[in-house]
Structure 1
């Protein structure tokens, strides 16, 4: 039996025996009556176990420490006082596995920094139980969304020989100790993927609408609260989509996820609302029921320039067309100016990737970023360049080695669906939907600069 099932069937279980295994969250020994607070991981909700000094198992169970595993057989009693709707009077208690005196998760406040150093234990706390249960639900929800829309799920390679973004921030994977990659495992230089997009585009040419969802890796030496070396990306690729349809898809999936977790994870969201971000649930309802803003990049620059002229203190004050918006600019637009999730479209080609479709003005590309409050950029997408001459020219301008991308560029020579797609940072989404402020706290075992502990 699971504690989750007991909560679902409280009214039917009054006066009945229940039995289950669980971990001790706290243990209070009284003169005659003692209390165990336990949880088995099936729900964020705990159960209080009551036992007495004259119980024949008292001597054994009184030794149970915080973190120990116990077997419980008891009678459920519905209560009207306190936070819990019921408690269990123990008939039998067994100490299955005790903890030693070095157990670091005692019943007290722990900082997130401390908990990152014991990432193998932090899922046992209510905070991380809530976050990781939400992470699991959102993961499953994403697959449900695309299944309903008849998208094909494709698993793209983790090891590749190209850098999809052209930023040179990839991890090299090798079996040698020098740079002679001709003698390496693949006979050439290989790296961990920074994006599954290019491979997804190839599958879109066969199936029209596809998505890939998996781990990606970037060797960006960033210490910010929203960057990690290993993270998950959701990357759909859609045939015959333009920016309008792409933005609609992005808005639809975010609202779909919000609706899902409000229905299936309300206990976890209530905990996050009370402990991570006050007003979180109201925020989610607001997003669910509002339309996202859309603004041209050129208009965004005008808004930021006006804010600067009116005294807003940006760190980057050189605001002009061609500026690659930083987090402070992104957050100003969606937090201060529009106060809602905001799409910025049609960026200068110089600050965007080689594969984005060149607009008729010759200086912007059909790109879109979704900016959300407290995070900044959550989603980046574009229409893909379908003109083979233009994409070759762009590769030449950026000194991109075409030999590594011939297979991708040549897709345009063999009957080409015009496609568009986006990349959504999964961990940033979880941060936004839980109120957690650091990406290190929404990944089970974070990999960041100078950090590879587990």
Structure 2
């Protein structure tokens, strides 16, 4: 065989392979309800739709069913014969074949004229999600079915988009995503609210599986610092755990954190990065989830004083202006001078409570996110950089006492969303702070060695992802925005 003939045969086989691959990939997934409603398919097309029945309206001659496959807040209206509808019930899973036609109704542009129907999964008459509004508390009791409703499914889609938005921001700014351990031997924050891990059986023959106590992580920060000392810009995104016996609407035992660590920056640059990541992710959600955001604006979030939807307006306003930035000292002065009575009084050295945080963002800064920075040293953990004038651009020391180069980002209606700081990069100062806190410096020897071997100025922050979801959706309880919530006394599923 000549070279040209061999080459022709190779190209022919390659073309056949590609055509087969394209043919196979085209039929991999059925059309989604979202794609049918978003004008990706023209009216008059014969289509197949698979999904769950949200509601059925049966009449003598003709019946209507709302079909949803979880890809859209809107369902696809299906037109059926009375005989077809007789077999349907709310909650059943179906495959419908028919013709997509223009709808005369105002609520949808297209509907499905059904020609044939196959019930993939029948649904018992006791299905607990009928066509009516259920309270969020009730839906939490049937969490395994919660995503079948609009609020549950829209929350998961927005959660997906918010994650994408954050990861897109870090990718564009040359961050490397790293995976930090879930099992750890230390308590990053030093609060002691950790879950201890023990083996489920005595197979190892030791009381301690690792020959020392091990815990579920409360933060990936210290390990992220490990990688930032080599890669400069890193972030980690994963579950963290707090054994905090709190039943408030802001606390979970298991939640997700995005934590970033950056070398060669100062505090103001760290605030810039924080603000940029929040704005980028918020804009991404608004751009990619318009119908979900309109749903939350109308049905979930609180209205303004005039009773009008306020969520979308608040989010868009947050993108238009820079976030406010004030010192802790200034925050205390503003709270002391406020024409409002607080449950907890504020003085230098006192912690800012939720009522203070909401007042600063919602009222003092007029519904504008605000950074509060340079807190008193004794309020904050050991790893935060002391403001003693030895670090460029971090020279703030109050006459009341020492401060650390840190910040909290407060959001209107939410309170604290982000906490971060410059990290103490001087070995001797860090070691003395650890000893003062009663910590075992041998246990944290590796962390000290990061300062011993080529230390660099660096800082980082953590975003409580469920609190970010409250900001985006208007929900008031973090249990509504986590797929399977865990809190003290509750670990179902």
Q: TM-score, normalised by structure 2?
A: 0.87
Partner of 2:311: 280
Q: CA deviation at 1:447?
A: 0.5
Q: CA deviation at 1:294?
A: 0.4
Post-superposition Cα deviations, 1:49-103, rounded to whole Å, max 9, x if no partner, equal 11123xxxx25x4121111011111111112432111111111112221111221
Q: Distance in 1 between matches of 2:344 and 2:377?
A: 20
- Residues 1:442 and 2:485 aligned together: no
Structure 1 runs of 4+ off > 4 angstroms?
Answer: none
Which secondary structure state, in structure 1, belongs to the residue aligned with residue 442 of structure 2?
helix
The 5 Å alignment of 1:151-230 reads 151-175=175-199, 183-230=207-254
Partner of 1:19: 48
Q: CA deviation at 1:257?
A: 1.1
- Residues 1:306 and 2:337 aligned together: yes
Post-superposition Cα deviations, 1:406-451, rounded to whole Å, max 9, x if no partner, equal 1111110000121100011000001101101100000011010111
Q: Distance in 1 between matches of 2:173 and 2:143?
A: 37
Post-superposition Cα deviations, 1:178-202, rounded to whole Å, max 9, x if no partner, equal 9xx9741100000000000000001
Choose 1 or 2 for highest CA Rg. 2
* Residue from 402, 419, 430 that aligns with 2:469: 430
Partner of 2:77: 48
Q: Is the 8 A contact 1:240 1:419 kept in 2?
A: yes
Which secondary structure state, in structure 1, belongs to the residue aligned with residue 359 of structure 2?
helix
Q: CA deviation at 1:404?
A: 2.0
Which secondary structure state, in structure 2, belongs to the residue aligned with residue 404 of structure 1?
coil
Partner of 1:292: 323
* Residue from 436, 445, 460 that aligns with 1:397: 436
The 5 Å alignment of 1:356-395 reads 356-360=384-388, 361=397, 363-395=402-434
Q: CA deviation at 1:152?
A: 0.8
Q: Is the 8 A contact 2:163 2:281 kept in 1?
A: no
- Residues 1:76 and 2:100 aligned together: yes
Partner of 1:7: 37
* Residue from 331, 336, 343 that aligns with 2:358: 331
Partner of 1:352: 380
Q: Distance in 1 between matches of 2:100 and 2:90?
A: 23
* 1:78/1:411 CA distance change after superposition, 3 Å: same
Q: Is the 8 A contact 2:89 2:123 kept in 1?
A: yes
**Aligned-pair Cα RMSD in Å:** 1.6
Q: Distance in 2 between matches of 1:402 and 1:176?
A: 31
Post-superposition Cα deviations, 1:198-232, rounded to whole Å, max 9, x if no partner, equal 00001001100000110000001111101101000
Q: Distance in 1 between matches of 2:212 and 2:241?
A: 19
Q: Distance in 1 between matches of 2:86 and 2:200?
A: 57
Q: Is the 8 A contact 1:173 1:192 kept in 2?
A: yes
Q: Distance in 2 between matches of 1:159 and 1:393?
A: 27
Structure 2's unaligned 5+ residue stretches are 1-30, 302-308, 389-396
Q: CA deviation at 1:305?
A: 0.8
Q: Distance in 2 between matches of 1:237 and 1:96?
A: 49
Which secondary structure state, in structure 2, belongs to the residue aligned with residue 37 of structure 1?
strand
Greater CA deviation, 275-284 or 329-338?
275-284
Q: Distance in 1 between matches of 2:112 and 2:157?
A: 25
Which secondary structure state, in structure 1, belongs to the residue aligned with residue 236 of structure 2?
strand
Q: CA deviation at 1:284?
A: 1.3
Aligned residues: 443
Q: Is the 8 A contact 1:208 1:417 kept in 2?
A: no
